[in-house]
Structure 1
Amino acid sequence: MKKTILAYGDSLTWGYDAAGPSRHAHEDRWPSVLEAELGGKARVIPDGLNGRTTAFDDHLSAADRNAAKTLATALLTHAPLDLVIIMLGANDMKPWIHGSPYTAKYGLLRLVEIVRGTEYGFGWSAPQILLVSPPAVSQTDNHEFKQFFAGGEAASEHLARLYAELAAMTGCAFFDAGSVAKTTPLDGVHLDAENTRAIGRGIAPAVRKMLEL
Structure 2
Amino acid sequence: MRNVLCYGDSLTWGYSAEGPSRHDYADRWPSVLQAALGHQAVVIAEGLNGRTTAFDDHLGGADRNGARALPVALVSHAPLDLVILMLGTNDMKPFICGRAIGAKQGMRRLIDIVRGTTYPLGAEPPEILIVAPPPLSETADPDFAAMFEGGVPESEMLASFYSELADDTGCGFFDAGSVVETTPIDGVHLDAAGTRALGKAMEPIVRMMLGL
**TM-score, normalised via structure 2 length:** 0.99
Q: Give the Cα–Cα distance (whole angstroms) in 1 for the partners of residues 159 and 95 of structure 2.
A: 22
Aligned: 1:31 with 2:26 = no
Q: Per the alignment, in what secondary structure is the counterpart of residue 135 of structure 1? A: coil
Give the aligned partner of residue 96 of structure 1.
95
1:50-93, Cα deviation, whole Å (9 max, x unpaired) = 00000000010110000110000000010000000000000000
2:73 matched residue in structure 1:
74
Unaligned runs of 5+ in 1: none
Residues in 2 aligned to 1:156 and 1:121: alpha-carbon distance in whole angstroms: 36
**Distance (Å, rounded) in 1 between the aligned partners of 2:85 and 2:198:** 13
Secondary structure at 1:164 match in 2 = helix
Q: Structure 1: which amino acid aligns with 2:120?
A: G
| Separation in structure 1 between the aligned mates of residue 77 and residue 122 of structure 2, nearest angstrom | 15
Structure 2 match to 1:56: 55
- Letter of the 1:15 partner, please give it: G
Match of 1:123 in 2: 122
Match of 1:111, as an amino acid? L
Residues 1:132 and 2:125 are matched in the alignment: no
Per the TM alignment, residue 212 of structure 1 is displaced from its structure 2 partner at its CA by 1.1
How far apart are 1:123 and its partner, in Å? 2.0
CA distance in 1: counterparts of 2:24 and 2:61, whole angstroms: 24
Amino acid paired to 1:141: A
Residue matched to 2:143: 144
After TM superposition, what 4+ stretches of structure 1 lie above 6 angstroms from structure 2?
A: none
Give the 5 Å matches for 1:196-211. 196-211=195-210
Q: Is the 8 A contact 2:79 2:120 kept in 1?
A: no
Preserved contact between residue 4 and residue 84 of structure 2 (Cα < 8 Å): yes
Match of 2:175 in 1: 176
Question: Within 2, Cα distance between the matches of 1:40 and 1:17?
Answer: 28
Equivalent pairs counted in the alignment come to: 212
What root-mean-square deviation, in Å, do the aligned CA atoms of Structure 1 and Structure 2 show?
Answer: 0.5
Residue 39 of structure 1 deviates from its aligned partner by 2.2
- Once residues 62 and 19 of structure 1 are traced to their aligned partners in structure 2, the CA distance between those partners, rounded to angstroms, is 22
Tell me the secondary structure at the aligned position of residue 46 of structure 1: strand
Do the aligned residues in 1 keep the contact of 2:11 with 2:47 (CA within 8 Å)?
yes
> Contact 2:89 / 2:155 at 8 angstroms: preserved in 1?
yes
Report the alpha carbon displacement of residue 98 of structure 1 after superposing the two structures with TM: 1.1
Where 1:202 maps in the other structure, the secondary structure is helix
Gap runs ≥5 in structure 2: none
Q: TM-score, normalised by structure 1?
A: 0.99
**Partner SS for 2:163:** helix
Q: 1:51 is aligned with what amino acid?
A: G
SS at match of 2:62: coil
Q: Secondary structure of the residue that 2:122 maps to in structure 1? A: coil
Q: Identity rate of aligned residues, in percent?
A: 61
Secondary structure, in 3 states, of the residue corresponding to 2:167?
Answer: helix
Separation in 1, partners of 2:60, 2:122: 37
